[in-house]
Structure 1
Amino acid sequence: MRHLLISLVCVLSAATGWALDFGPAGETNLKGLDEIAVVINEETITRRQLAKELAVERRMLPKGINLPEGEINEQLTERVIMNHLLKQMEQRGDFSASTEEIDRAVAMVAQQNGLDKAQLLRRVRRDTGLDEAAFRAQMASNIVQDKLKQALIGRNINISPATIETQIAQITRLNETTLYLQDLLLPIPEGSADERGPAVKETIRQVSEALNEHNDDLAQVAQVVPKAKFVDLGAVNIAQVPPRFAEAVSRLSSGEVLSTPVVDQDGMHFLKVRAKQSQSGQAVVDQANVAHILLRAQGKEDFIAQQRIAEQLVSQLQQGADFAEVARRYSQDPTSAVRGGELGWVGADEMVPEFAQAMLQVPLGEITAPVQTPYGWHILKVNDRRQVDRSDDVLRARIRESLYNKYLEDAWQQRLIQLRQQAYVEIR
């Protein structure tokens, strides 16, 4: 038993990089393990505790990783520090996950994978080494982090209608939608900006009244509003329209007129969309059935270190490693990791540009080189691609949700960086 204890202590010493003092009789100075190793704000971590946590983090590293040992230890220590800072934040906010919430999360993951609870737990143990208690603790941590995000950041995120319309305009332009436009053109009143203001308001009022009286018929409105000129622009490819005009008319449905004119050197344009149609006759969006492995990164040095790990994972995959197994073991996106990295069908408009570009260009079934996004490094595998029709209401809802999640994640990563920078950390 004594020899087993000495072997265990040696393993812990190797994990932390600290030497242990063996007495002349081969007895270990176990008191050293209870000395303080790290101070994080008002919390202290012993060498014994740190070694245990470093060993857990080390098991999550890719096999055969080829990085200097000192660099690995530094990176793993940073992960342990961030774990404790997050736990402190949770405790200050009195956030927790109830047994019912954890049960629902586990059941949802099992359902998404077509497994019952027992099958899921067996797979998790096989792929990650986590027993049921550890897996439930991981689910609880994810739930609490979501609550933290919503409480500290989510309530301050506001997706304005203008932001959504800008996104719709970009999608419309990418799909080369054809608009059938009519234009009611009025000259800009003469005089200074201050002098023109009242005249512009009066013109808009006159046009608005005439539109109501003549059911938005611009040709008839042009006959009753002084100096108005009606122009039927016919079919216009929106990809060739100046961005200001494209953004203004892309939010209009067929038959609608702009309530506020677009102004250029020709005058004030009250545009009407008589009809709209994409090349295929539908509002189509590119989607991909994609799986990914995410290695999160914070700060320049962490990005460099994670890139090297990502490159080694790509090498393993190219040599025949199973993508799903690698994702379950190493991906730091917990929601998709347990499904072997599968994200399912996602739209190009839902993802950050770097991710979207990669998923639309990589050949089906092949593995991408590491793709850098604000969240870290992604390795993508695309199973299939398609184009889907989206109505305006569905499109707006998806864009709002996508933008909200993006802003939330961006703000959360910044919050974590600030949390680390402002923390008192002493490594002894």
Structure 2
Amino acid sequence: MKLKITLAAGLMSIASLVSAAQLDRVAVQVNEGVILQSEIDAMVTNVKLNAKAQDQSLPSDNALKTQVTERLILTTLQMQMAERMGLQVGDLQLDQMIGNIAQEQNMSVDQMREAIEAEGGSFAAYREQLRQEITLGEVQRIQVRRRIQVSPQEVTSLVAMIEEQGMQESEFHVGHILIEVPSNASSSQLESSKQRAEKTLELLKEGADFRRTAIAASGGPKALEGGDWGFMNVNEMPTLFAELMSGAKKDDILGPIKSGAGFHIVKVFDIRGRETQEIVEVNTRHILLKPSPILSEERAKEMLESFMDQVKAGDAQFEDIARQYSEDPGSALKGGELGWSDPSIYVPAFKDNIERLEPGEYSPAFRSSHGWHVLQVIDRRTTDATDQFNNDRAYQLIYRRKYNEELNNWLNEMRGDAYIEIIEPMQRRG
């Protein structure tokens, strides 16, 4: 995760917050919760600042506020889900993540705080924004993972196809606009959405900016990002996108294609050959402790630090401690060893620590979504990537594609089941 200075700097200053508080009002009711007008205004400000930094044009303020409000509704629903699940990101875990981000930027936490505040931002607000981002990621992972099944037949078919195609398959940088169709739409509503999609496509082909149009008109999950899905190969992108990529060229605008959600327009921003022809694999081992009502976050971290003091002093062996204490059943019996793998398969905190270590080195205690870890990189090796698209790699590609699809489905279902009321401001009487 990279430090987003511009985003943090876009958070409202204390003076602005005081002013906003005087004029604040409830803008949206979401189940038992609310979204304040100040929250909408603050996010609109952030989007504008980031767009300015990237020299990106934006649609009208009304269109932008509509997209921001929709994003905040989905965020609120997910945070309500996290509360019902009892999912909390503690200060220790948050401090660990902030330390990792600062280290990635080759700065201390104090230097990162100074950089944020130098651009007019609030470090405290940045912390809470990051806490929310971690929470949203965990809720999505937990809720969406249970909806995904990957059959052995799917994996076998993809392995065979990859072996036949080799590693030269292309990656597509795609943009997406969704013109939504209401659930149980009437024929007139369906025709209206179709006409909007066709008009949008016409404007794009006449030269309208795709990202600006996506922010203004798209109902898709990446609307506020200008519809930008980044680079993907066809095996990991949503099936709808993949079906359009056959024969596609750079700058092609494809669609509209109808699905249950509405009419989709896809743009190919760029195409590139797969950049990596070799994979650097790592052999690692770790000890995992999971916080619980009995084992606090602080105690889990202290125990791991104590274990590592013993290992470094020569009073204990890493593998013996892993067998006795690690709560990862898949590796504990092997002395914590995870075997050779591509680091990208691990959760971000685990992957980040792997990348910072040389063979033989130990990590400090760190928090991931699974719990508290210490790890050691046993060794690294570079292998021919054409030999590494095995069952595990094929599984990951299929999983990521299904994850993207199911995440969008889950968000739409959650929104459809929620009570949402947009509260219009009271008009002043003359």
TM-score normalised by length of structure 2: 0.45
TM-score, normalised with respect to structure 1: 0.45
Q: Which gives a bigger RCO, structure 1 or 2 (Cα 8 Å, sep 6+)?
A: 2
- Is the radius of gyration larger for structure 1 or structure 2? 1
